[in-house]
Amino acid sequence: MKDYSIDLNQNKKEKSSNVTIHGQLNITNISDIKKGLEKALKSKKIDITLDNIDDMDVSFLQLIKAYKTKCKANNIELNISSTLNDDLNLLIIRAGLQNIV
C-alpha cells in the first residue's frame, strides 16, 4: 500500500497542470514522486499543492529545489502552496529551507 499520493490534472488547452501531493514525502517514495512531477513539465504553468503531509525529509526538499531550477530553465511558471503541520513548518524554518516550499 502506498503511503503517499500524487494527483496530476492537466489542462492542455491552457497548457497548465495542477499537481496535488499527499502523505509521506520521503526517500522511500521520492523516485515515484519525481516521475509524477516530470509528467507536468509539458505545461507552461504548474501549480503544486502539498496537502495532508504526514512526513517530509530532505530528499523531497532537494527534489523540489531541482524541479524549481528545471522549471525556471524551461520558462515554466511554478507555484507551490503547502499546508504543513506545525512540526514540519518548524523543521523547515530551523533548517533555513522555507524558501523551497
Report the chain's C-alpha Rg in angstroms.
Answer: 13
C-alpha span between 47 and 15 (Å, rounded): 12
**Alpha-carbon separation of residue 101 from 1, 59, 78 (angstroms):** 26, 13, 11
Looking at the domain assignment, is residue 24 inside a domain? yes
Which domain range does residue 67 map to?
Answer: 4-94
Q: How many domains does the chain have?
A: 1
> For position 79, what pLDDT does the model report?
97
Looking at the domain assignment, is residue 101 inside a domain? no
Looking at the domain assignment, is residue 37 inside a domain? yes
Looking at the domain assignment, is residue 80 inside a domain? yes
Query: Each residue of 66-80: pLDDT tens digit?
Result: 999 999 999 999 999
> For position 1, what pLDDT does the model report?
60
C-alpha span between 35 and 17 (Å, rounded): 14
Looking at the domain assignment, is residue 12 inside a domain? yes
C-alpha span between 101 and 81 (Å, rounded): 7
**Which stretches of the chain drop beneath a pLDDT of 70?**
1
C-alpha span between 56 and 78 (Å, rounded): 20
* CATH number for 57: 3.30.750.24
- The whole-model pTM stands at 0.90
Beta strand 77-82 with 16-25: parallel, antiparallel or unpaired?
unpaired
